[in-house]
Amino acid sequence: MTRPDGRQNDQLRPISFIPNVAPYATGSVLVSFGDTRVICSATIEDDVPRWMRAQRVEGGWLTAEYSMLPYSTLERKPRDISRGKLDGRSSEIQRLIGRALRACVDLKKIGQRTIWIDCDVLQADGGTRTASISGGCVAMAIALNKLMAEGRLKQFPVKKLVAAVSAGVYQGVPVLDLNYPEDKDASVDFNVVMTESNEFVEVQGSGEEAVFSSEEMTAMLELSRKGISEIISLQKAAILTADRAAPADLASLTAAFGKR
């Protein structure tokens, strides 16, 4: 079996994190998983949701919003506002992003604040939710590092980094990090979220009018573990360099959209 882009079964697409692409956000990054590209930003507000104040819940909150821009797919995707409501897929994905990132941060340590994670898909070629989680974690860490540097936090609230990747069964073979042609034709599709300590945060998996064996599931989870370990190494490098990096310039952004 040969994959459409010639990768090995356990090989990720080229992945990059370019920090500081949105200067008015507290933290931001352009994440690329092959031809899937998402701008993830973290904005921190000194307030909490009304329900937290009413219930006197200690600490802060983290929430996420996700959207695919109209030109991110081959056929124009109408904006949610034109329908008057958020579509079901976007709602599911932004809930997933929020759950994944809340699992890795001590909300009590951020004080009476809300962390807003915004994920805007510029170009979709499979794996937009996993790219959003991985990029959202980087944007969040950059933002919280800024608050630490400004003396607004006493303790760093991120307990562990989290990342996500897809896996699936394509032409009868378990493979890692599906692009759109693979995702479209896969008989089984998994999305796996894990911490840097190899702990599972969430696993989403289903057969596409097909079934899968325990051996195939084990293989997909092991592929995901390997891929997430590699992604977290890239996340750490991006976070460490973000405070020394200038705002992303046109050359770096152009390179991110160049040939791979």
Reported as a single tens digit per residue, the pLDDT across 90-103 is: 999 999 999 999 99
Q: What confidence score (pLDDT) does residue 28 get?
A: 97
Lowest mean pLDDT among 9-18, 117-126, 161-170, 202-211: 202-211
**Contact of 129 with 111, CB cutoff 8 Å:** no
Rounded Cα–Cα distance for residues 109 and 159 (Å): 11
Class of domain 15-245: alpha beta
Q: What confidence score (pLDDT) does residue 248 get?
A: 64
Q: Is 244 within any annotated ligand binding site?
A: no
Rounded Cα–Cα distance for residues 11 and 13 (Å): 7
Rounded Cα–Cα distance for residues 10 and 47 (Å): 43
Rounded Cα–Cα distance for residues 179 and 35 (Å): 8
Q: What stretches of the chain show up as alpha helix (H) in DSSP?
A: 50-55, 80-83, 88-102, 128-149, 180-185, 214-242, 250-256
Rounded Cα–Cα distance for residues 71 and 76 (Å): 5
Helix, coil or strand: residue 76: coil
The token duo for 10 is 């356990």
Residue with tokens 């770096």: 252
**HSE, side-chain direction, 13 A CA sphere, residue 248:** 21
What does R_g of the chain's alpha carbons equal in angstroms? 18
Q: What confidence score (pLDDT) does residue 142 get?
A: 97
Q: What's the predicted TM-score (pTM) here? A: 0.92
Determine the average pLDDT of the residues in 17-40: 96
List, for residues 145-186, the tens digit of each pLDDT value: 999 999 999 999 999 999 999 999 999 999 999 999 999 999
Burial status of residue 58 (CB atoms within 10 A of its CB: 0-12, 13-18, 19 or more): exposed
Mean pLDDT of all residues in the chain?
93
What are the residue boundaries of the structural domains of the chain, listed by start?
A: 15-245
Q: What confidence score (pLDDT) does residue 73 get?
A: 85
Q: Is 127 within any annotated ligand binding site?
A: yes
15 has a pLDDT exceeding 50:
yes
Q: What confidence score (pLDDT) does residue 254 get?
A: 65
Residue 251 — very low, low, confident or very high, per pLDDT cuts 50/70/90?
low
